[in-house]
Amino acid sequence: MQKIVFHKVVPLPIKETFSQESDVWGKEVVFEQGVNCHVCAPSGTGKTTLSHILYGLRHDYDGEVLLGDVKAKSLSPDQWSALRQTEISIIYQDLKLLEEYTGFENIQIKNRLTNFFTPAEIEAHADQLGIARLLGKPCKQMSRGERQRVCILRALSQPFKWLILDEAFSHLDEANTNKAIALINDIAARNKAGVISCNLFEDQHFKYTQKLKL
């Protein structure tokens, strides 16, 4: 899969309200593998909807999403599972962690699918993000920022070609954001992958070669 193509995609919930000036909705957009793309999306323009369509969690849209040559809507749940194991990863805005379980368990539950990292590597990367000592703690006892970093490390614990970021650093200070960006860049480079970073405002987190406005 070399590219993801949006062909006149319009999500049904914003069918009546989406802006005609959007670079994505109702237009032809190509996301190339290995290209860093920034999507600037003010509230209500469908930022989370876009990341969920890219990740296969939503199929309620007009138009077509093509993964390579294949229509996204034609993929079975198990084919989507396969893509989520090795091709596409996501850092959710709402984190979606198992609150009762520890940081380490939350990362492992993803990592176990492909055994991408060894437990030692998970420790090392957690250390880079400044959450190594929190790994044994249930997520419900962590701060929002700490949980966001667990979520980032979980998303990185698999091979991927595209990494979708949905306000991935919204609860981090600048220093921690920079640590996270460094780790993402490092692992994305290793995977020859690009990021699709959706944010409320324009940012300089990655070296973007494609910029879109929702």
Q: Does 48 bind other proteins (CB under 8 A)?
A: no
As a whole number of angstroms, the distance between CA 116 and CA 47 comes to 29
Query: Three-state SS for 166?
Result: strand
Q: CA angle, corner 198, sides to 196 and 199, nearest 5?
A: 145
Q: How far is the CB of 28 from other proteins (least distance, A)?
A: 27
Considering the complex, what minimum distance in angstroms separates the CB of residue 203 from other proteins? 25
CA angle 204/210/214 to nearest 5° reads: 85
Binding mask 86-125 for other proteins (x = CB under 8 A): ----------x-x-xx---x--xxx-xx------------
Which of 25, 40, 41, 84 binds other proteins (CB under 8 A)? It is 84
Radius of gyration of the chain (CA): 17
Closer to other proteins by Cβ: residue 82 or 200: 82
Measured between alpha carbons, how far is 17 from 15 in angstroms, rounded to an integer?
A: 6
Binding residue for other proteins, selected from 1, 14, 30, 57, defined by CB under 8 A: 57
Smaller CB separation from other proteins, 47 or 154: 154
Among 13, 42, 44, 81, binds other proteins (CB under 8 A): 81
Out of 33, 85, 128, 210, the residue judged to bind other proteins by CB under 8 A: 85
User: What residues between 170 and 209 interact with other proteins by CB under 8 A?
Assistant: none
Q: Which is nearer to other proteins, 55 or 206 (CB)?
A: 55
Q: Give the whole-angstrom CA distance, residue 79 versus residue 102.
A: 29
**Phi/psi-derived region of residue 153, left when phi > 0, alpha when psi is between -120 and 50, beta in every other case:** alpha
Q: In angstroms, how far apart are the furthest CA atoms of the chain?
A: 50
> How far apart are the C-alpha atoms of 191 and 87, rounded to whole Å?
10
Q: Which residues bind other proteins (CB under 8 A)?
A: 55, 57-58, 77-78, 81-82, 84-85, 96, 98, 100-101, 105, 108-110, 112-113, 154, 158
